Amino acid sequence: MTATSDDSKWTEESIWDIRYWTDTLLSFKITRPAQYLFKPGHYSRLGLQDEHGQLIWRAYSVVSAPAEDFLEYYGVIVPGGMFTSRLKQLRPGDRIYLDKQAFGFMTADRFTDGDTLWMLATGTGLGPFISILRDGAVWKQFRQLVLVHGARHVADLSYTNELQAIQASQAHGGSQLQLFQSVTRDGDGTPLPAGVLHGRITTLLENGRLEQAAGHAITPEGARVMLCGNPAMIEETRALLHSRDMRPLRRASPGHFVAENYW
């Protein structure tokens, strides 16, 4: 259900589906107005009403692909968070507000060259990369795709089954997807599931383990990098990329990496 008035900046939508991965991590789908346009990597502004009827707005990366007829998001419930304490109470059919415009600069089509796309995410920063991988365009743009998802616990590695299915399917043509997951709290002395690494993404970049495992190096010639999630990860990775002569994408000039901080 979409309700709107022409002069309003937002539409009134409803929650369609909610899935909890853990006590605090959830994916939710909302109705999508036919005129809502976005590119994979964009984010929406979502609004919920407080007890005084005021709208609280927060940014959420779109997880669904542009071709899908709903909008999906991946969120974490922040303890005491103004927005997420209300998000937690929502049930299918409940009302949510959607800014009519989609926002953001972290889209793969801004890269003009490169043959390997590295997508580095912490926590819910995974969301935009799911949208990018569900869409077909990036598979034609790059020869190799590398997705790295870092979280605290193995239980926080949401979307694993879907990502493995995307990786195994030949639906998107010739390019390859490599998946890496890493956890910081589990695995120190206890066994981890096959393929899950232990350590922060930045540590695995600094000690070369990620590039070794992927079989290619992050260089200005071949690699383009997208970073999303925790500002500390982004800051440290940015410094590492700068030390390799890599530059951020700017509005008017080409570059090697682009980042989106969640807070």
When asked if residue 18 is in the footprint of ligand FAD (CB under 6 A), the reply is no
How many whole angstroms separate alpha carbon 87 and alpha carbon 80? 12
Shortest Å distance, C-beta 100 to ligand FAD: 17
Which range binds ligand FAD by CB under 6 A, 77-85, 132-140, 204-212, 216-224?
Answer: 77-85
C-alpha angle with apex 117: 148 to 153, nearest 5 degrees? Answer: 5
Shortest Å distance, C-beta 211 to ligand FAD: 26
Among 16, 36, 38, 74, binds ligand FAD (CB under 6 A): 74
Q: Which of residues 180-219 bind ligand FAD (CB under 6 A)?
A: none
Which range binds ligand FAD by CB under 6 A, 31-39, 71-79, 109-117, 204-212?
Answer: 71-79
CA 95 from chain centre, in angstroms, equals: 24
Residue with smaller CB distance to ligand FAD, 116 or 124: 124
Q: Which of residues 33-62 bind ligand FAD (CB under 6 A)?
A: 43, 58-61
When asked if residue 82 is in the footprint of ligand FAD (CB under 6 A), the reply is yes
Residue with smaller CB distance to ligand FAD, 87 or 223: 87
Shortest Å distance, C-beta 129 to ligand FAD: 11
What separation in angstroms does the CA of 202 have from each of 144, 154, 207, 219, 243? Answer: 21, 18, 9, 16, 14
Shortest Å distance, C-beta 147 to ligand FAD: 16
Burial class (CB in 10 A: 0-12, 13-18, 19+), 157: buried
Map residue 23 onto helix, strand or coil. coil
Structure token pair of residue 185? 């709290």
Which range binds ligand FAD by CB under 6 A, 67-75, 180-188, 192-200, 244-252?
Answer: 67-75
- Provide the H-helix boundaries in the chain: 84-87, 127-134, 137-141, 160-168, 201-206, 209-214, 231-243
Q: Return all residues near 52 (Cβ < 8 A) that are at least 6 apart.
A: none
Residue with smaller CB distance to ligand FAD, 76 or 137: 76
Among 40, 47, 75, 150, binds ligand FAD (CB under 6 A): 75
Using alpha carbons, select from 22, 44, 2, 217 the residue that is nearest to residue 118.
217
Contact string (CB under 6 A) for ligand FAD, positions 118-157, x = contact: -----xx--x------------------------------
Q: How far apart are the first and last CA of the chain?
A: 31
Among 11, 84, 181, 237, binds ligand FAD (CB under 6 A): 84
How many whole angstroms separate alpha carbon 98 and alpha carbon 14? 10
Binding site for ligand FAD (CB under 6 A): 43, 58-61, 73-76, 78, 81-84, 123-124, 127, 260, 262-263
